[in-house]
Chain A
Amino acid sequence: AQSVTQLDSQVPVFEEAPVELRCNYSSSVSVYLFWYVQYPNQGLQLLLKYTSAATLVKGINGFEAEFKKSETSFHLTKPSAHMSDAAEYFCVVSGPYYSNSGYALNFGKGTSLLVTP
């Protein structure tokens, strides 16, 4: 079974400061990893996904993440935070398809990014 751990429940940053949201995963099989963003009272929007094509993945809104197999990590980064980046961020792992459970997704508990002017 796969699982993810988001190491911080909240990350406070100043506007224009760099951002790093940490995510570690565990799995006995090949995995696919995602980062989603959720603004208050809204659904989830995909930021980026790792599909084994490249270890450094670029996403929307200037975010990127690097897959490090040796560290089982998939941390999300951005060089400079904007006020509009304030939201909840979820790291998600997906394993192979199972006929009795479909494309099971495992969500981290989320990290709230707080941006201060």
Chain B
Amino acid sequence: DGGITQSPKYLFRKEGQNVTLSCEQNLNHDAMYWYRQDPGQGLRLIYYSQIVNDFQKGDIAEGYSVSREKKESFPLTVTSAQKNPTAFYLCASIPSGSPSYNEQFFGPGTRLTVL
């Protein structure tokens, strides 16, 4: 089955540590996105990538970094510079070149908790 996988489902981090969240898709989609979700806030865009080896900052990129070395993979690193990293993180993808009415496909999410 085609889809998006995110791992781990739950992640605990000590303050001052960097952690990397995995996102893999086998949908052959070109564009991938990372969102952060906080209670009552909706989803906010962290980073997105339209093609391999290219990515752009979203609305709340500070304290995060990404890479896009392969079409299938778009890992997100939460660095120690991120002041309040506890949140639910969602990865999404969409075929590039599609009209914008094609919906984004979402992974199951990773819940990150800073101890």
Contact residues of A with B, CB < 8 Å?
Answer: 9, 32, 34, 36, 41-46, 49-52, 90, 94-97, 100-105, 107-110
Q: Would A103 and B94 count as touching, CB distance under 8 A?
A: yes
Q: Kindly identify which residue among B4, B42, B100, B109 contacts A97, using a CB–CB cutoff of 8 Å.
A: B100
Interface residues on B, range: 20 to 34
A4 to chain B, nearest CB (A): 9
B12 to chain A, nearest CB (A): 15
Contacts of B42 in A (CB 8 A): 90, 107-110
B45 within 8 A of A: yes
Q: Would A32 and B56 count as touching, CB distance under 8 A?
A: no
Q: Would B48 and A102 count as touching, CB distance under 8 A?
A: yes
Contact residues of B with A, CB < 8 Å?
Answer: 4, 6, 9, 31, 33, 40-45, 48, 50, 56, 88, 90, 92, 94, 98-104, 106-109, 111
Give bound CA distance, A113 to B88, whole Å.
20
What are 12 of the A-B contact pairs (CB < 8 Å)?
A36-B106, A41-B88, A43-B90, A52-B101, A90-B42, A94-B101, A102-B48, A103-B94, A103-B98, A103-B100, A105-B45, A109-B42
Contacts of B40 in A (CB 8 A): 9, 109-110
Q: Would A103 and B31 count as touching, CB distance under 8 A?
A: yes
User: Residue of A at shortest CB range from B38?
Assistant: A109
User: Residue of A at shortest CB range from B49?
Assistant: A102
A95-B100 contact in complex given A9-B40, A109-B40, A110-B40, C-beta closer than 8 Å = yes
A90-B103 contact in complex given A43-B109, A100-B56, C-beta closer than 8 Å = no
Q: Kindly identify which residue among B44, B56, B103, B109 contacts A102, using a CB–CB cutoff of 8 Å.
A: B56
Beyond known contacts A102-B31, A102-B50, A102-B56: 15 more, CB 8 A cutoff: A32-B100, A32-B101, A36-B106, A42-B109, A43-B6, A43-B106, A43-B109, A46-B103, A51-B99, A94-B100, A103-B31, A103-B94, A103-B100, A105-B104, A107-B42
